Amino acid sequence: MDEAKRIKNLPPYIFARIDKKIAEERAKGVDVISLGMGDPDLPTPNHIIERLNQAARKPANHRYPAPFAGTLEFRQAVADWYKGRFRVDLDAKTEVLALIGTKEGIAHINFCYIDPGDYALIPDPGYPVYASSVLLAGGIPYKMPLREENGFLPDLEAIPEEIARKAKLMFINYPNNPTGAVAEADFYRKVIAFAQTYDILVCHDAPYSEIAFDGYKPLSFLEFPGAKEVGVEFHSMSKTFNMTGWRIGWVAGNERAVEALARIKSNIDSGVFQAIQEASIEGLRGSMAFVRDHCKIYQERRDIVVDTLNSMGWQLEKPKAAIYIWPRVPKGYTSESFAALVIEKSGVVVTAGNAYGEYGEGYFRISLTIGTERLREALARIKENVGKMEF
Ligand SMILES: *Cc1c(COP(=O)(O)O)cnc(C)c1O
């Protein structure tokens, strides 16, 4: 049976490919250490798990979630968390929607705004879901290169006027995956002005807002005047609370966009298991002190990676946030050939930068989501077996 055109040209999800490579190396007997996927290794905080235990026993929670958009209690907990963390006012009823993870919402928002042939502005390198979901909706992803000399921020002035006019959506993501870059107020203000000029919905993907180092505090896009008129922010329990497996996130901001996404979703899914929403309320309303401890752990890992690579010839600066290191590949290598060298010589998996888009070529990504001692071993192996590098 012939597949639809829609999926024929869709590449397999990048991490599915990497998993296959790891399985091959393991089959050869190699003790593979994967620094590939950004999936927190630390456990979900205990108070959240305890609340799930209780909530799972309530028969009312075994039924379809009501409403599909998320319980008002969950949405209010999100709104209150935003107020406490960012001084942002959100109406829980109309400006917050529960998602089955951010990934789900990012994919579906395209179906709300993209007709065949419409453009969406996407960061490159970037989270692969932006481009693939634009394609699934029949749209055309227009790549905004994130260049190192520009602090890995897109240059909005470089977007051709006729593309900007045809664009319906813009995805941005800070603290950034894969580059670890952060954005400041002037950037968000420029994005808002751009979106007003060209009538574009801004989708800020912000799952790493709580993971930052050296005292740095990332901003929310919604903090800035006019943001809610032109955009939404996607957020998630996944990275802040180590809950990637639980599948819960939210979108907040522009009321019409939130309503449109709720409408599409109500025809596709039936919401998030209410017990998981209850447990998430516990997380959002409870003490956030554990986040500081987790950031300390990531910061130590960041320092291990950056210090080791710098001792091998790199000249990396330490990222202020997120859970990734994004170094250039040494002279004479492509992203793929360097990632292949690292796994062959040291049994360590790093992700080739071109997996995140064409402008990721020339880089590779190391994720900090692996036990600190194992990470230390991985870096020691790389240092010993790959050796000094030239740039
Ligand atoms: C991890 C990640 C997500 C996915 O979050 P979920 O809520 O688990 O779906 C979204 N965007 C970026 C940039 C991520 O790195």
The predicted-structure confidence for 317-364, as pLDDT tens digits, reads as follows 999 999 999 999 999 999 999 999 999 899 999 999 999 999 999 999
Per the DSSP assignment, residues forming a β-bridge with 231 are 202
pLDDT band at 16 (very low <50, low <70, confident <90, very high): low
The pLDDT of residue 96: 98
For ligand 1, whether the C-beta of 102 sits within 6 Å is yes
For ligand 1, whether the C-beta of 244 sits within 6 Å is yes
CA nearest neighbour of 200 among 233, 234, 230: 230
The interaxial angle of helices 102-113 and 255-266, nearest 10 deg, is: 100
The DSSP H or E segment spanning 121 is strand 119-124
Per the DSSP assignment, residues forming a β-bridge with 236 are 249
- Measuring CA to CA, how many Å separate 64 from each of 70, 237, 266, 273, 289? 11, 21, 12, 8, 33
For ligand 1, whether the C-beta of 367 sits within 6 Å is no
Cα dihedral sign, 132-133-135-136: positive
For ligand 1, whether the C-beta of 249 sits within 6 Å is yes
Task: Report the Cα–Cα distance between both ends of the chain, in Å, rounded.
Answer: 50
In this structure, whether the domain defined by 5-43+289-385 belongs to CATH 3.90.1150.10 is answered with: yes
Residue 298 · residue 213 · CB < 8 Å: yes
What span, in angstroms and rounded, lies between the C-alpha atoms of 369 and 243?
13
Q: How many CB atoms lie within 10 A of CB 269?
A: 14
The pLDDT of residue 5: 87
Residue 342 · residue 201 · CB < 8 Å: no
Per the DSSP assignment, residues forming a β-bridge with 250 are 98, 235
CA nearest neighbour of 367 among 358, 356, 104, 161: 356
Residue 276 · residue 246 · CB < 8 Å: yes
pLDDT tens-digit series, residues 219-230: 999 999 999 999
The pLDDT of residue 251: 98
Using the mean position of ligand 1's atoms as its centre, give its distance from the Cα of residue 234 in Å.
9
Q: Specify the domain boundaries for CATH 3.90.1150.10 within the chain.
A: 5-43+289-385
Residue 114 · residue 139 · CB < 8 Å: yes
CA nearest neighbour of 306 among 315, 293, 297: 315
CATH level 3 topology of 50-285: Aspartate Aminotransferase; domain 2 (3.40.640)
The pLDDT of residue 268: 97
Q: Specify the domain boundaries for CATH 3.40.640.10 within the chain.
A: 50-285
Q: How many CA atoms lie within 13 A of 16 on its CB side?
A: 4
Structure tokens at 96: 């917050």
What span, in angstroms and rounded, lies between the C-alpha atoms of 104 and 202?
17
ω into residue 175 within 30 of 0, thus cis? yes
CA nearest neighbour of 325 among 359, 290, 286, 353: 353
For residues 275-279, average pLDDT = 98
Label residue 312 exposed, middle or buried (CB < 10 Å: 0-12, 13-18, 19+): middle
For ligand 1, whether the C-beta of 177 sits within 6 Å is yes
Ligand 1 atom with least separation from CA of 39: 1
